[in-house]
Chains A and B, each alone.
Chain A
Amino acid sequence: MSNLLDLIVAGLATGAIYALVAVGFTLLWQTSQTINFAQGEFVMLPAFLMLAVMHLGAPFWLAVLVGVLLSALLLGLAFKMLLVDPMLRHGVLPLAIATMALAIGIKEAVKQFFSAEASPFPSIVPAGDISVLGRAISLQSLGVLAVAILAVVGLTMLLNRTSLGHQMQAAAQNPTVARIIGVPVERMILLTFLINAVLVALASLLITPIYLAKFSSGEVLGQAAFIAAIVGGFNQVRGAIAGGLLIGVVDNLAAAYISTQYRAAVPMLLLILMILFRPQGLLGRAEERTV
């Protein structure tokens, strides 16, 4: 029992990061039918951008700022204009395949131009433990959890409580009518891509101190976020949050109580069960699309 609380808190912290990534994933799907199989690599890359800026002699805070801006530029603007827009004309499937190619491209480029070795990455949350109900809980886990929750709450408020958010939702739910009533649909879609880029940069900032900066770390992250989005409900932001937290905890408990070798299999099993018995996900709604 003594271990369980630690495992759950650590699992929730990782899960909150998965949730950030999964939320971005579902936002892109909802606004532009983009299934981004490079989402994991999108989380891996900003840490390397920040490390590169630090190698030039910049302090950590400046590297973070530049890293986030570069992410918005590369993973938001350039991704949409150079890959999504041209490929989407040919359909959802060619675009999905193109994002797979992009994932390989980013991974190999980082390996080639940066390093194949894992690099340490500074944490924005101080190391150490604090005592909660007489138990020592990792400060880093709590910090990560807090930052991720703040980001998700902020995003949810943006989407549900502001005029901008309602217009973004309108553009995603019915672009034809949104255009007629004057919503600048294209700008709203671009904004979604920028939000996704900032979310992955934040996830990168939170997860890299725990798992180190490594060219291949996107594989695990992308898979976890994908499973989280499906399990939670692909067409709901709150589904992606629930799915992320669930996968984080299940993954951690599986590693502790079953086997570290099989930890990746447990979320995958959950995914298969979900697709078999509740394909719309935990919180998702069944959706019909004309094809």
Chain B
Amino acid sequence: MTAVLDVRDVKKSFGGITAVNGVSFDVQEGEILGLIGPNGCGKSTLFNCILGQLVPSAGEVRVDGKLVTGQRPSELNRLGVSRTFQLLQVFPKLSVRDNLILAGQEHRGSMLSRLLGPSDAGLTTTADQMIGFFKLEHLANEPAGGLSYGQQKLLDAAMAFMGGPRLVLLDEPAGGVNPTMLGDLKERLIAINRERRATFVVIEHNMEFVMSLCSRVMVMAEGKVLAIGKPDEIRANPAVIEAYLGH
């Protein structure tokens, strides 16, 4: 079976510094892969190389077997690859529903069709389902900028799922979210993974969150893959303990 995401020997250097040094891994359909590692180990750079925000210095990225190395984020978005952000990225003055509708649109067509076509691009029902799924019903018509941090994180996640993506890359979804909201977020992510067979890659520092959410965990250190395996194997791996504790 073809992997949803296949990363082969990806390297990224900035000047003389190699941030990502020959990383290879794959993610199968329906899998949730956790990506952990100390600060500066190259996780975010790797994410940006996969998502087309950076062009890798070497290596290949394939989505569903299709070579996408160096494609622009908007092109990847059309191929069904979406992302959430470490720092919140919503459209603050638009309502929660309008944020979702925008995220779900293909954004194709002429200026005239955008002007004269339906303002919701036929996506109100899908947006309302997503609002219901992420339990944001009471906030549907509120401007997104007025939501609490945790609620905006939920909206950010909901936006990533609007287009019915094949693959979602989540960048620190738990960062700064309070424990109650974190439970909600995890439960929703697991539910959407089971119901829609959505495939995730998650960067996260919250170990408890990663270990309970992910089916496999990949550990990076100094730009390389240190270990990859089931959460229990990773927890017991001496090299991982050393990388984290610095012995």
A and B interact physically: yes
Please report A residues at the B interface, Cβ cutoff 8 Å: 158, 161-167, 169-170, 173-174, 176-184, 187, 191
Task: State whether A167 touches B107 (Cβ < 8 A).
Answer: yes
3 pairs of A and B residues whose beta carbons are closest in the complex: A182-B107, A164-B114, A180-B73
Q: Tell yes or no: B119 within 8 A of A by CB.
A: yes
B contact residues around A178 at 8 Å (CB): 91, 102
Quick one: which of B105, B118, B121 contacts A181, CB cutoff 8 A? Answer: B105
Chain A residues with CB below 8 A from B98, complex form? 166
A173-B91, A179-B73 given; A163·B119 CB < 8 A = yes
How many residues of B are in contact with the other chain, CB < 8 A? 29
A166–B77 touching, CB < 8 Å: no
B83 and A180 contacting across the interface, CB-CB below 8 Å: yes
Q: Quick one: which of B73-125 are within 8 Å of A by CB?
A: 73-74, 77-78, 83, 85, 89-94, 98, 101-103, 105-108, 111, 114-121
Residue of B nearest to A187 (CB): B111
Q: Tell me if B114 and A163 are in contact (CB < 8 A).
A: yes
Q: Are the CB atoms of B92 and A191 closer together than 8 Å?
A: no
| Docked complex: B226-244 residues within 8 A CB-CB of A | none
Which residues on the B side are within 8 Å of A174 (C-beta)?
89-92
User: A99 vs B23: C-alpha distance in the bound complex, in angstroms?
Assistant: 49
> How far apart are the CA atoms of A116 and B77 in the complex, in Å?
56
CB nearest to A164 among chain B residues: B114
Do A170 and B119 touch across chains, with their CB atoms under 8 A apart? no
Structural contact, B91 and A180, CB atoms closer than 8 A: no
Asked if A177 and B121 sit within 8 Å, CB to CB, the answer is no
In the complex the two chains form, what is the Cα distance from A162 to B116 in whole Å? 7
The contact of A177 among B89, B106, B115, B118, by CB within 8 Å, is B89
Q: Which residues of A contact B121 (CB under 8 A)?
A: 163
A-B contact count, CB below 8 Å?
72
Residue on B nearest A235 in the bound complex, by CB: B93
Between A173, A176, A180, A187, the greatest number of chain B beta carbons within 10 A of the residue's beta carbon is seen for A180
Contacts of A191 in B (CB 8 A): 111
Measured CA separation A191–B112 after assembly (Å): 12
Q: Which residues does chain B contribute within 8 Å of A183, judged by CB atoms? A: 102, 107
0/1 string, B158-199, CB within 8 A of A gives 1: 000000000000000000000000000000000000000000
Give the complex CA separation of A176 and B73 in angstroms. Answer: 10
> A177–B91 Cα gap in the complex (Å)?
8
| Max chain B C-beta neighbours (<10 A), residue from A165, A166, A184 | A166
Are B101 and A166 interface neighbours, CB within 8 A?
yes
Residues of B within 8 A of A184 (CB): 107
Instruction: State whether A166 touches B119 (Cβ < 8 A).
Output: yes
Q: Is the CB of A169 within 8 A of B119?
A: no
How far is B89's CA from A52's CA once the two chains are assembled, in angstroms?
Answer: 49
One of A161, A164, A169, A182 near B106 (C-beta < 8 A): A182
| Residues in B neighbouring A180, C-beta threshold 8 A | 73-74, 77, 83
What residues of chain B lie closer than 8 Å to A169, measured between beta carbons? 91, 93-94
25 sampled A-B residue pairs with Cβ under 8 A: A158-B115, A162-B114, A162-B117, A163-B117, A163-B120, A166-B98, A167-B102, A169-B93, A169-B94, A174-B90, A174-B91, A176-B89, A177-B89, A177-B91, A178-B102, A179-B74, A181-B74, A181-B107, A182-B77, A182-B105, A182-B106, A182-B107, A183-B102, A184-B107, A187-B111
Q: Report Cα–Cα, A166/B101, bound state, in Å.
A: 9
In the bound complex, CA of A173 to CA of B83 (Å): 18
Once bound together, how far apart are the Cα atoms of A113 and B93, in whole Å?
45
Cα separation A184 to B106 with both chains bound (whole Å): 11
**Residues of A close to B90: CB separation below 8 A:** 174, 177
Query: Smallest distance from the beta carbon of B242 to chain A beta carbons, Å?
Result: 37
Shortest beta-carbon distance from A236 to chain B in Å: 9
Report the separation of the CA atoms of residues A180 and B101 in the bound assembly, to the nearest whole angstrom. Answer: 14
- Tell me the bound Cα distance from A117 to B4 in angstroms: 72
Known: A164-B111, A181-B105, A182-B106. 8 other contacts (CB 8 A): A162-B117, A170-B94, A174-B89, A174-B90, A178-B91, A179-B74, A180-B83, A183-B102
Nearest-Cβ distance from residue A239 to partner chain B, whole angstroms? 12
Q: How far is the CA of A164 from the CA of B114 in the complex (A)?
A: 5
Q: Which of B83, B89, B116, B119 has the most chain A CB atoms closer than 10 A to its own CB? A: B119
Instruction: Give the residues in chain A near B119, CB-CB below 8 Å.
Output: 161-163, 165-166
Query: Contact check: which of B74, B94, B111, B118 meets A182 at CB < 8 Å?
Result: B74
